[in-house]
Amino acid sequence: MTLVITVGVLALQGAFFEHIKLLRQAVDQLRPLIEQNWIIREIRTAEELQRCDALIIPGGESTTVSLVAARSNLLEPLRDFVKVRRRPTWGTCAGLILLAESANRTKRGGQDLIGGLDVRVNRNYFGRQTESFEADLDLPFLQNDIHSNDEAFRGIFIRAPVVEKILPPVTGEQKAEEDHAAMVVAPAKDSTTKEPGVWPVEVMARLPGRSKRLAEKLEAIELDEEIGDIVAVRQRNVFGTSFHPELTPDARIHVWWLRQVWDSIQLKDLSEGAGQETVEQKIGEANPA
């Protein structure tokens, strides 16, 4: 029997096609090392999401994605996927905003969050569309990956958010964040997994040198005291980047993330005593007689 992992890309708005293209490229690079069948598919409904083992929420317009998800009855299934079932999830730019437990510079009632990352993000931190930029990034998490190399990763920042504060990990809502003005907080969801409920947030990458230059221009609050803006974070199975890897031809982060997905599923199967579905089972459920 051939086992399969299904990776979905939320396709409500934004750069979902670009992610799918790089995921397929990453799968080709992984095949010599991991004997695994992968299904890469666009996700627009709760039923399609239910079939996924992992999910990418692409860059785009976070308010639009949130609104369409709510109107499509997909917002709560997304929260369940990330925070209850704890499936591997990666958000880029707008996806990072949606995965944050708290978002700053946001009109109350104008943005629903999914949550999953105990961070506060500052939307459009680097300015408007005309102030978009590219920068070489040092990504330490790629250095030990055999599919990677020592070259800097070219990050594309388009109306990009930044993680302005790492929040203490909690099992419920980030209640203290509600005391700040212009702040939106994700609703709580209780996990049904057997693993411990609280994991710290890891800072995976920083963009040095811009915080100081922009300090007087932007009204950011409580920026992280260490040098550089936080542009990539991970908390257990949830990963977020401020920049757009999908808009480059470089598949290194996609390769790395698929390996994280594979590792996570192996650990989950060991802890729960359950195996992945076969290709035949997945095709049969997608096309019932």
Catalytic amino acids? 93, 244, 246
Closest C-alpha to 183, from 114, 123, 140 = 123
First to last CA, the chain: 21
The Cα–Cα gap between 56 and 58 comes to 6
In whole angstroms, give the CA distance from residue 176 to residue 144. 37
Q: Show the tokens assigned to 158.
A: 């388009």
